[in-house]
Amino acid sequence: MTLAGCGSTGSGEVTLKLVAADYGDSSANSSEHYWADLVEKFEAKHPDINVEVTVLSWNDVDAEVAKMVKAGEAPDMAQIGAYSDFAAQDKLYPADELLSIPTQGDFLSSLTSAGEVDRIQYGMPFASSTRLMFYNKDLFAEAGITKPPTTWEQLAADAEQLKENGVKYPFALPLGKEEAQAESLMWLLAGGDGYTDQIGSYNLDSELNVKTFDWLKTDLVDKGLVGPVAPGKLNRQDAFNAFSNGEVGMLNGHPTLIAQAKKKGVDFGMVPLPGRSGKAKATMGVADWMMAFKQNGHRDQIGAFLDFVYSKENVLDFSERYNILPVTNSAVDAMSEDAKFKQLEPFLNALPTSQLYPVGNTSWAQVSADIKERIGKAVAPGGSPAAVLTDIQNKARAAEAAE
């Protein structure tokens, strides 16, 4: 757990408390530095408002905020992974009671929709990313593969060639607990479906979803094309590390892998994960959320601070520091026009039509935890994708009914 206090010690009329997640991978680039710089600028313009920021690791931040709220000690704001359970408890301000119209209107529309519960926006997107398939150009060339796959059949054939050429992980498939819900959704979307139907109800065991995991098990896992670690035991960061060490032919990744792989000198390409027989209907997007709690009041001061947080300059600063995609149209436009962000362009292009987790469902946290726990068993030896997906679906339906 990393703690930091930001803000002046002056006698401002109001002190706001924010709990935020840490996007850095070391103390040198901890989010503490970003918030310290931002708060210093804000307080210079608003001497009557002090802001104290506590930065916690992603391993702890969601649980710590939940504890604070349960104890009746909610912060004024939290920047964490999910908001809908607090919205369902009537703990949050709606966004339109906080933000100016230009600020609220600047959010990407797909992220605004994902921040709504019963068509009211409570979750304000703070950071986003999409996913692409990374491939190692040198390993491809050495195996005689001239271009990345555009269908699942080609993907499996390429993985077979990589295996025959001695590649340790032809296609790394991290279905371990760290982020199995992400890897799973990427494949389900590529297979033509997803976690929910058109009205937002869970349909994890749909015919298309079962077919997707049947293919993964039969055509990749059972043929030994995913490497020496069972998918259910392989975590995302371990897969990223293996890719950066030149041991992975292909894997799904997000923008932070760019810097990690470059640092190790890996020559890589990035393309959308192929669909079953061609282009997938959508790629997966992820958003992290800012929310404001009603408990302490301070609505006007929170609004002033958040309008500042979401200025184009501050959104771009955060995105550049942490290789994260911006959440506002103005920042996306600015990034698209700046050559230094060229390598993020494919991720940016996928963002407007990306599909996010069903974060507006208050049951999502529970369903996500169940996917992390169980989905790896769907592709394990002797495992049944249909049985595992049906079991997860039954629990999801029960959680949904209890909302």
Average pLDDT (245-260) is: 93
Cα gap 173→229, rounded to integer Å: 9
**Domain covering 132-283+363-401 in this structure, CATH number:** 3.40.190.10
Higher pLDDT, 179 or 166: 166
Could you tell me the pLDDT band of residue 12, with boundaries at 50, 70 and 90?
Answer: low
Whether 9 has a pLDDT exceeding 90, the answer reads no
CATH of domain 14-129+286-350: 3.40.190.10
In this prediction, residue 281 carries a pLDDT of 79
Quick one: pLDDT at residue 382? 93
Tell me if 14-129+286-350 shares its fold with 132-283+363-401.
Answer: yes
For residues 268-287, average pLDDT = 90
Please, are residues 277 and 152 in contact by the beta-carbon 8 Å criterion?
yes
Maximum CA extent, the chain: 69
Q: Are 83 and 111 in contact (CB under 8 A)?
A: no
Question: Do 149 and 276 touch, CB atoms closer than 8 A?
Answer: no
In the chain, where are the structural domains located?
Answer: 14-129+286-350, 132-283+363-401
pLDDT value at position 6?
47
Tokens encoding 371: 């996917």
pLDDT, average across residues 178-182: 89
Among 42-46, 201-205, 283-287, the minimum mean pLDDT is found in 283-287
Question: How much of the chain is helix, strand and coil, in % rounded to 5?
Answer: 45, 15, 35
Using the structure block, give the residue that is written with the tokens 């920021």: 53
State the pairing for strand pair 77-80/120-121.
Answer: unpaired
**pLDDT score at 185:** 96
Q: What is the pLDDT of residue 122?
A: 96
Spatial neighbors of 6 by CB under 8 A, at least 6 apart, are 32, 35, 36, 39, 40, 51, 52, 53
Mean pLDDT of 174-193: 93
| Model confidence at 315: pLDDT above 50 | yes
> What pLDDT sits at residue 3?
37
Q: What is the pLDDT of residue 81?
A: 86
Q: Answer yes or no: is pLDDT of 10 > 60.
A: no
End-to-end Cα distance, the chain: 31
Half-sphere exposure of 334 (CA within 13 A, CB side): 17
Say if residues 287 and 299 touch (Cβ distance below 8 Å): no
- Fill in the amino acid letter for 349: N
Which amino acid type is present at position 162? Answer: L
Torsion of CA 216, 134, 326, 111, to 10 degrees: -20
Residue pointed to by tokens 């499996």? 156
Average pLDDT over residues 220-232: 97
pLDDT at 269: 96
Q: How far apart are CA 52 and CA 339, in angstroms?
A: 35
Write the single-letter amino acid at 384.
S
* Burial status of residue 189 (CB atoms within 10 A of its CB: 0-12, 13-18, 19 or more): buried
Joined together, the tokens standing for residue 223 give 């043929």
Candidate ranges 73-87, 339-353, 358-372; pick with highest mean pLDDT: 73-87
pLDDT score at 58: 81
Q: What confidence tier does 323 reach under pLDDT thresholds 50, 70, 90?
A: confident
Mean of per-residue pLDDT scores for the chain = 92
More confident residue, 340 or 125: 125
User: For 118-137, what is each residue's pLDDT tens digit?
Assistant: 899 999 999 998 999 999 99
Res 8: pLDDT: 39
